[in-house]
């Protein structure tokens, strides 16, 4: 299984890596995210990403934002997946 390199600027998948990941035809699921502005629906896929070590996380297939298995966003403590994946 490939370990996907995250951005140098923060724990997210850069656009070029996100496009390459999507070409692998990952299993995409709907998810509900809660944040400061309420809730929103996103689509996520499981991925093995490098975040100081190899981590099984969820990636937002539109933005490259990463979420830990418990739903916590890797870049903002104010965002969290609240639906069951």
Question: What phi-psi label fits residue 82: left (phi over 0), alpha (psi between -120 and 50 degrees) or beta?
Answer: alpha
pTM of the model as a whole: 0.93
SS (H, E, C) 3-59: CEECCCCCCECCHHHHHHHHCCCCCCEEEEEEECCEEEEEEEEEEEEECCCEEEEEE
Range of the domain at 44: 4-81
pLDDT digits (tens, 9 = 90+) for 1-34: 899 999 988 899 999 999 999 999 999 999 999 9
Phi and psi, residue 20, nearest 5°: -65, -40
d(CA 44, CA 62): 8
**pLDDT for 20-74, tens place per residue?**
999 999 999 999 999 999 999 999 999 999 999 999 999 999 999 999 999 999 9
Predicted pLDDT of residue 25: 97
Residue 44 pairs in a beta bridge with: 29, 60
User: What's residue 16's pLDDT?
Assistant: 96
pLDDT at residue 1, as a whole number: 80
> How many domains, in total, are found in the chain?
1
């Amino acid at each position: 299984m490939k370990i996907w390199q995250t951005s140098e600027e923060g724990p997210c998948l850069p656009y070029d890596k996100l496009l390459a990941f999507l070409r692998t035809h990952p299993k995409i699921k709907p998810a509900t995210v809660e944040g400061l502005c309420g809730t929103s629906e996103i689509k996520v896929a499981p991925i093995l990403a490098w975040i100081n070590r190899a981590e099984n996380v969820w990636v937002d297939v539109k933005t490259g934002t990463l979420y830990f298995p418990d739903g916590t966003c890797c870049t903002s403590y104010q965002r969290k997946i609240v639906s069951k994946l």
